[in-house]
Amino acid sequence: MRAFRHRDYAVFWVGAITSNTGGWLSNLTVPFVIYGMTGSALWVGLVSVFQFVPNIVLGPWGGVLADRHDRRKVLLVTQFGMALSALLLWALWVAGLREPLVVMALVGLGGIFQGVNMPSWQSFVNDLVPRSDLDSAVALNSLQFNAARSLGPAIAGLILATIGPSWALLLNALSFLAVLLALVLLRVRSEARQRDPAPVFRQFRAALRYIRGEPGIQMGLLVAIAVGLLVNPIFQFTVVFAGSVYDVGPGTLGLLNAALGVGALLAAPVLAGWSHVLSRSRLTQVGLIGQAVGLSAFALSPGPVGGAVALIVIGWALLISISATNTAVQVIVADELRGRVLAVRIMAYTGCFPIGGLLQGLLSDLFGPRVTVLGAGVALLVVALVLTFLRGPLRMQRLDDQHDAAGRVT
């Protein structure tokens, strides 16, 4: 809890958890209504394409903005844009538009603002606490996101089962007021940075060259890619399993998604209490194997109760591995390249969401959801074992590398 001693971090954290809880109302509602309109897991996978492809396209620009401008001001602009796109989605839904492509186009509009937002959001945590409390800040940032992932879907399931999707979409739009207010109340101002006149992609290539010389950051990227491809599609498969495997309603669907967040909450003591005992590389190994076991158990679960238990395991292990690797990158990276390197990580991680979602959605339509999720679990176990036993410059233990104080910008 060390990071909460800093007033600005605490204010930002409260605004973030409120806004992210609202965001998860939409994250469950949109796949739910798309699946209801189409009955296809592939269409549900397309939601990830519209939501996360902008992270890939706009990641370089967002990273440069995070390194060269006041991150608080960048966040104010991008969060306001995300709020407007969420409000527009609600307004068009209330107006009676029920076209899947229209819904996903508005999701994509929000994704454009989020693509610019994410590098500054991740980097901003570093501005709110001293380096000695950075591991606490990153862990608590992951905790608030996953606490929201627990509360949001549970609330969304209740809303969908009673008063309908329009209320869930409206509450998501209104929740942005919390983070906007928090950003206004902050006292922190990002320090002035040297403005590089070079074009955006030339500055971004400098970050790529830097990453090639940092095996710890490379390992963090490899883990993020594996999790993005194989694990994150589970968020869409809760909708598919609820509708075509378990045959349950939106209330149970909300509880299934909440189980992922509950697992993440259970992981918080491990991260907060053992991060100085267990190395980041060891935490990552535990997280990868735990996710593989959880995916396999979910695929084989006979009913929603067993599925919820498996999802708790997945949520627990997912937070451990992603938080450990995110902390590793944040600790290792040179300060002058922080925004751009984090943009590469975000692009690698979220860029795999649509790829994994589409691929697993297609396989589910062809072979069934159980076979698809089981295959993902087995594949992740193989990846975990390969990364664990890698030897040479690129190995799991490089996640424990120390901060690069000198930097090597070329």
Neighbouring residues of 277: CB distance < 8 A, sequence distance ≥ 6: none
Reference 321, options 291, 296, 349; nearest CA is 291
Which pLDDT belongs to residue 88?
92
3-state secondary structure 310-377: HHHHHHHHHHHHHHHHHHHHHHHCCHHHHHHHHHHHHHHHHHHHHHHHHHHHHHHHHHCHHHHHHHHH
DSSP 3-state of 402 = coil
Reference 103, options 40, 26, 23; nearest CA is 26
- pLDDT tens-place string over residues 106-115: 888 888 888 8
Neighbouring residues of 122: CB distance < 8 A, sequence distance ≥ 6: 326, 330, 342, 345, 346
What is the DSSP secondary structure assignment for residue 248, as one 8-state letter? Answer: -
Global pTM?
0.72
Which pLDDT belongs to residue 391?
81
Give the CA angle between residues 410, 74, 78 to the nearest 5°.
125
Superfamily in which the 2-187+200-400 domain is placed by CATH: MFS general substrate transporter like domains (1.20.1250.20)
Reference 190, options 120, 252, 139; nearest CA is 120
Reference 284, options 267, 265, 266; nearest CA is 267
Give the CA angle between residues 143, 145, 150 to the nearest 5°.
90
Residue 334 predicted with pLDDT over 70: yes
Q: pLDDT exceeding 70 applies to what percent of the chain? A: 91
Residue 177 predicted with pLDDT over 90: yes
- pLDDT tens-place string over residues 313-326: 998 998 888 888 88
pLDDT greater at residue 11 or residue 339: 11
Neighbouring residues of 315: CB distance < 8 A, sequence distance ≥ 6: 146, 149, 150, 259, 260, 261, 262, 263, 264, 266, 267
Cα separation, 376 vs 23, whole angstroms = 26
Which pLDDT belongs to residue 230?
93
Which pLDDT belongs to residue 299?
93
Would you list the domain boundaries of the chain? 2-187+200-400
Which pLDDT belongs to residue 329?
86
Question: For 29, left (φ over 0), alpha (ψ -120 to 50), or beta?
Answer: alpha
- pLDDT tens-place string over residues 21-52: 888 888 888 888 888 888 777 787 777 778 77
Residue 98: phi and psi, rounded to 5, are -130, 30
Which pLDDT belongs to residue 362?
87
What is the DSSP secondary structure assignment for residue 398, as one 8-state letter? Answer: G
What is the pLDDT confidence band of residue 176, given thresholds at 50, 70 and 90?
A: very high
Residue 257: other Cβ atoms inside 10 A:
29
Cα separation, 59 vs 53, whole angstroms = 10
Give the CA angle between residues 220, 222, 228 to the nearest 5°.
100
Residue 409 predicted with pLDDT over 60: no
pLDDT greater at residue 86 or residue 397: 86
Cα separation, 242 vs 97, whole angstroms = 25
Average pLDDT over residues 365-384: 93
Contact 31, 47 (CB under 8 A): yes
Amino acid at 327: T
- Highest mean predicted confidence (pLDDT) among 324-338, 369-383, 385-399: 369-383
Contact 387, 219 (CB under 8 A): yes
215-230 and 200-212 helices cross at what angle (nearest 10)? 100
Residue 410 predicted with pLDDT over 60: no
Reference 379, options 265, 291, 283, 260; nearest CA is 291
Mean pLDDT of the chain: 83
Contact 343, 118 (CB under 8 A): yes
What is the pLDDT confidence band of residue 196, given thresholds at 50, 70 and 90?
A: low
| 161 CB-contact burial (10 Å; exposed 0-12 / middle 13-18 / buried 19+) | middle
Instruction: Write out the DSSP string of 184-212.
Output: HH----PPP-PPP-S-HHHHHHHHHHHHH
